[in-house]
Each structure stands twice: as structure tokens, then as C-alpha cells.
Structure 1
Amino acid sequence: MDRTSPDNMNFNHSSDFHFLPMRGMRNPHLQTLLPRLFRRHITLQPHWQRLDLPDGDFVDLAWSEDPALAQHKPRAVLFHGLEGSFHSPYAHGLLQAWKARGWLGVVMHFRGCSGEPNRMERIYHSGETEDAAFFLRWLHTCWGKVPTAAVGVSLGGNMLACLMGKQGEDCLLDAGVIVSAPLMLEPCSAKLEQGFSRVYQRYLLNQLKLNARRKLHAWPGTLPIDLERLNALKKLRDFDDVITARAHGFVNADDYYRRASAMPLLPQIRKPLLIIHAKDDPFMTDEVIPDLQQLPANIEYQLTEHGGHVGFVGGSLLKPQMWLEQRIPQWLSHYLDTAL
């Protein structure tokens, strides 16, 4: 059987929860962009907190409510995508859905992604797990042991898979969900240089450059590039080659893509994990689809025909349904609600 077939899934069919795209809106680019239309207004007012890191830097946390008043509740952690934040449609949408279920949700912003430049040369990347590992330990130490799960979206999904693979049985999470993750970074980078996907590359690169400019103004000398060279970058690969790789000890972009891709680590994951991926994701190629024969039984893989990149919009124009806000809580409830 073709491993790219949606029927070939390491999946518990008794809990199957199919995605049906909005009628007339199954185009992958429409699916990718629709959440920005339907989640324009943020209804949740987050509780912000700054977490100082061991190296003198910081990450900002956006909680669904004051954790001091909800530390007994099951916890759901969100790791966002490239240049994402609480303001990303999927982020505040999921936090609102988790709060409605009685869970305590939190977005851990990667360094420099909360609106304020971080202080150190080190930033974040697809395989950077140290900040997330520190954060999860801090959660356990400061707020006590309760059922805890994490969701990683796009870049954050690849990072979460790396973290869970490296930690194996020692992972502090009870379960995880990975959505639209570039599990093989090099082919995904190449895909963004082709066809309409170049529109996404241009948008992401502009966001990265804007963030880098802020950092260079706030903390001169903390990036291995000057403004003139930064402004001249034309591709995400160029940014990864001269900034991401050099700031984190990789030889170049190719070395970074090889060493930070999560696909080789999937067989080492020991905690329950759901991977959600749309076959028509305009950020990806079929190379991100794992060989299901190599996955351990604790990993469930759901491949949908449609959904775009972190889209998955169903329902109708009058009553849109954000499928991820239904599917993710439905799957995680087995691990987070059992102790209630």
C-alpha cells in the first residue's frame, strides 16, 4: 500500500475523527488562509508572565487564565510555528477551546516572538529543545504535577517531536500532538521556493527580517549579520544559512536541516503522540510522511486529503468550524481528563 494513502494510518479507528473541508473551500491555499479570516477577533484575554532562562534570556508565557488560581487543572502547552505567537489564529483559538474544557492552557513563546527582542545571540529554531525542556521542568516544579500535554504547530511541531524523541521515557509530558510539522526540513525549505509557495516564503522571510531588525536595534551585535546583509536576504535558506545556523553552532543551512529534522527521532518517542498532516500542505512534500512501519505503537498518524497548512477549516461560511479546535481536545481528553 502507498504510504501516502490516507487509509494507511497507524490509527485507532474507534476514535476516528475525520476532517471534511468547508464546501467549495478545499483548495490548500484557501484552507491555509481561512483561519486568518475566521479568527481575526481574539475573545480570550491572556494572563502574561515572563520566565527568566538560565542563560540570562527570557521567554514570555500567555496563559488562558491566572495559573495561580488554576494550578490544579490539567495543563495543555502550545509551541507555536515560525514567527508565531498567541495572536496566531490557531493559538488563541486552541487556548479558548482548552479553557472551555476546564484545562489550563499556555503558549510558550520562543525567544523574540512575543513582541520584545530577546537579549542573547541565540534565538530559536526547529530543533532547539532546551528552552522547551526547561519550561516543562519549571511547570512541574513550580505548579505541581498534574496531567500535562503539549501541542506543537509547524516549526513547533518539529521541535516537540525532537524533544519527545530525545527524552524518550523521561519526557514529562503525558501526551503530545503535532500539527503540520516539517519533519524533514530540507525538502520543505526547497518546496517554499517553488510556485505559489514562494508567497509563503516571502511572508515568513519578511517576518523574520522584521524581528531581526528589532533585535539589531535593541541589542546591537547579538546577530551574526548587519542590517545591509540582512536586507539583502532573498530566501529562507539564506536566513538559515547566515543567521540560524551560525547562531546555533551549525556549519550551514544544510547541516542545520539535517541535524534538526525530527523524522529520524520518531521511533524513539515513548509517550502517546498524535501527528496530524494534510496531504495537500503547500509548505511540505511527501518526504515529511513517515514510514508507518517504523513508528512505535504509541504514535498515531492522521493524514487528511485536505487541510492546507494549519488550516483544517470545515463547516460553512455562516458556521465555520475550526476542526483542530475539536480534534485536538477530543484526542487529548483521554490523557488529561482521566484524572479529574
Structure 2
Amino acid sequence: MLARLDLSDCPTPVWLPEGHSQTVFAALYARRPQLGFLRERLDTPDGDFIDLDWTGPGLTPNSASVVTGAPLPVIRPRTEPGQRALVLFHGLEGSSASHYVLSVSQYFRARGWTVVVPHFRGCSGEPNRLPRAYHSGDSQEISFVLDTLRARLPQATWHAAGVSLGGNALLKHLGEAGSAANWLHAAAAISAPLDLNAGGMALGKGINHAIYTRMFLRSLKSKVLAKAKDYPGYFDVARIAHAHDLYEFDDAYTAPVHGFKDVRDYWTRASSKPFLRSVTVPTLVLNARNDPFLPPDHLPLRHEASAQVLLHQPNNGGHAGFSSGRFPSQLGWLPQRLARFFDAGV
């Protein structure tokens, strides 16, 4: 059976006419809520850690800060049978302070949901302990986090969502896990770079390189070069420092450190698009057709995903943008779209 297809548009403002303006304006200028989280540090089996930021009934601190206080050892939210919960995975170099995380978390918390935002290693404001970091196909990390949360709140009705890199890793996990992931009520991937080869090459050219790649490289290089001081001789520091685009950075650092032969091996094996046929959890895959991070001709067709997948491909929205409303716009369309799918499957 074929995946379902939704081509209805996101009502972006007329003064945001194309993908770049819709992407950048949402990230920098659109109204975003103020939301507090409680932080928990989760130790990983390999001796590292992941910081989880929680919000929900009985959990929000009396502060507008993103995180309040030192990491807490264990957080046990108040849950009753059927309590709805959402785990939300952020994108490349994102965090619980990202605009899309705040808008989605605030919306579902207001509906009484428990929301938890896991930070990929090194993204919570503190360097992680190991030479490795995180990558677009890190489905093993997704699986560890999901299993931990399921065991923590077994009575909750769990949903999972991921944005950009987090969405790609989540989809890869869902495809690999098959029916073993059916304890999730539903899932969603927003602006996931489903074909990393196509997306990586697109980000290395022209205005995409000038706006997005330079921003990512500043943050990524800084973290890795700082880490290199603790692991002398472990990294090819010269190649990392002189990487001009994500292709060169991933070839010098991400691929070898995370067990891939080279960047092409990484981008090919980590892409989630080939796994969509194996997804058995009801899953929304939302990609704007003007997303600068993934050319529209590389978006999946109906026969490339399972019948449990709804492919929503609006013409507008940019990359994790989806602004709507009057100037300076707001970010309510995306969480409402997720809620509609989680509630009714459409």
C-alpha cells in the first residue's frame, strides 16, 4: 500500500515570499514563547551523558529561563494511565532554546502533556565526555532515549517528534525497529533531511553555504577543536579547522569518529528515506517544498513510504520555519499541525 499525501499549504505571510526568508525569520524574529524546563542528566551506557529538559504538569519552574538550576539526577513527572507525553528531538546544533522546540513544547504543555527534550551530546551547553558527538543517523541514541523514557513513564501514551537532524534519526530508528516501535502512539518528523547526499550538497552551494553552512561550521568546529585538546592526536585537527563545508567537515570528523568509512558512506547509510517503507508507527513526515536544506525533487513519493506514513509537503514553510500570522508572525502553525496528526491521524 502507498503512503498518504497531503499537499495543503502552510499559510505563510506574503512578506515572507520564499524558503530562505521563511527559514531565517522564524529562527530569529518570529514571536516565541518563554518557557522553563527542569533538567535531568542521563548517563549513557558508554560513559557519556545526555541532558533531558522536562516540562509538563507539576514540572515547570517559576521562571522564564530555559533551564533552572543544576542538572537533577532523576525527574519523575506526575502521570496517570493515559497521560499523553511527547519526546521532541532537536536539529543540528539545536537545543531546548530553539524556536521550534519552544513553540511545540509550550503548545503541548498547555494541553496538559508531559514534554521532554533530549539534547544530543554536546548540545546542552556543556561539552560531552567522549571524542564522539552525534550525527544524523544516530538511531541507536534515539532508541536508548526512547527505551529509557518508556521505562520511566510506562503508563503514559507516548508520542515522538524530531526536527531536521533529529527527525532524520528518529525516522531511521522507526524504520529499523519496525513493529517493535509500535508502543509509540504516533510520531512526526519535521524538515528532516531525508536524503543526506542531496541535502549536504545543496548546503554547500551559493546562498545556502553563505547563510547556513557557515553558521553550522562555526559552532561545530569550535566544539570539536576544543575537544581535541583533551584527546591529542585523536582528530585530524588541520582538516577539521580548514573544512570549507559540511562535506569536508563530515569527512574529517563525523564519519571517522562515528564508525563510517567516509562522508559518502555516512551520508548514504544515515539517510532515513530508504527506511520509510519499513515504518509501522503512524508517522507524519512534514517537508516544505521550498526547504533550502533539501531540494524538492528528492522528497519521497507515495510508493517510497509505508501506508502508515503521511507525507505532508506544503509549498511553503522553509526549513523548520512555518511562520504564520501578522508581522512579526508567530509559530503556532507547526504545533497545531502536529496536534491534528497526533489526535486524528490526518
TM-score by length of 2: 0.88
Q: How many residues align?
A: 323
Structure 2 equivalent of residue 10 of structure 1: 4
The verdict on how the C-alpha distance between 1:221 and 1:147 changes in structure 2, with shifts beyond 3 A counting, is farther
1:23 is aligned with what amino acid?
V
Which residues of structure 2 form unaligned runs of 5+? Answer: 60-74
Shift of 1:39: 5.1
Shift of 1:86: 0.6
Shift of 1:318: 5.5
- Report 1:189-338 matches (<5 A): 189-198=200-209, 199-217=211-229, 219-221=230-232, 224-226=235-237, 228-317=238-327, 320-334=330-344
Structure 1 equivalent of residue 20 of structure 2: 29
One of 126, 129, 153 as aligned partner of 2:163: 153
Structure 1 position 188 matched with structure 2 position 179? no
- Verify the 8 A CA contact 2:255 2:261 in the aligned structure 1: yes
CA distance in 2, matches of 1:248, 1:303: 32
Shift of 1:221: 3.9
One of 44, 52, 58 as aligned partner of 1:53: 44
- Verify the 8 A CA contact 2:289 2:313 in the aligned structure 1: yes
CA distance in 2, matches of 1:142, 1:239: 37
Which residues of structure 1 form unaligned runs of 5+? Answer: 1-7, 336-340
The verdict on how the C-alpha distance between 1:117 and 1:146 changes in structure 2, with shifts beyond 3 A counting, is same
CA distance in 1, matches of 2:112, 2:29: 24
CA distance in 1, matches of 2:222, 2:33: 23
Structure 1 position 134 matched with structure 2 position 134? no
Q: Give SS of 1:315's match.
A: coil
- Verify the 8 A CA contact 1:22 1:320 in the aligned structure 2: no
1:162 is aligned with what amino acid?
K
CA distance in 1, matches of 2:96, 2:37: 9
Shift of 1:35: 1.8
The verdict on how the C-alpha distance between 1:318 and 1:263 changes in structure 2, with shifts beyond 3 A counting, is closer
TM-align CA RMSD: 2.1
Structure 1 equivalent of residue 66 of structure 2: none
- Report 1:92-111 matches (<5 A): 92-111=102-121
How many percent identity over aligned positions? 36
CA distance in 2, matches of 1:222, 1:116: 22
Deviations along 1:98-140, one digit per CA (max 9) or x if unpaired, are 1011111111111111111111122111111112111111111
The verdict on how the C-alpha distance between 1:22 and 1:145 changes in structure 2, with shifts beyond 3 A counting, is same
Q: Give SS of 1:311's match.
A: coil
2:4 is aligned with what amino acid?
N
1:71 is aligned with what amino acid?
T
Structure 1 equivalent of residue 72 of structure 2: none
Q: Which moved more, 1:279-288 or 1:44-53?
A: 279-288
- Verify the 8 A CA contact 2:192 2:287 in the aligned structure 1: yes
Q: Which moved more, 1:64-73 or 1:170-179?
A: 64-73
Structure 2 equivalent of residue 4 of structure 1: none
- Verify the 8 A CA contact 1:278 1:305 in the aligned structure 2: yes
Shift of 1:40: 6.6
- Verify the 8 A CA contact 1:120 1:222 in the aligned structure 2: no
- Verify the 8 A CA contact 1:71 1:144 in the aligned structure 2: no
2:15 is aligned with what amino acid?
G
TM-score by length of 1: 0.89
Structure 2 equivalent of residue 338 of structure 1: none
CA distance in 1, matches of 2:299, 2:55: 33
1:61 is aligned with what amino acid?
L
Q: Give SS of 1:68's match.
A: coil
- Verify the 8 A CA contact 1:119 1:222 in the aligned structure 2: no
Shift of 1:255: 0.6
1:210 is aligned with what amino acid?
S
Deviations along 1:215-258, one digit per CA (max 9) or x if unpaired, are 234x33495233x4432111111110011110111110001011
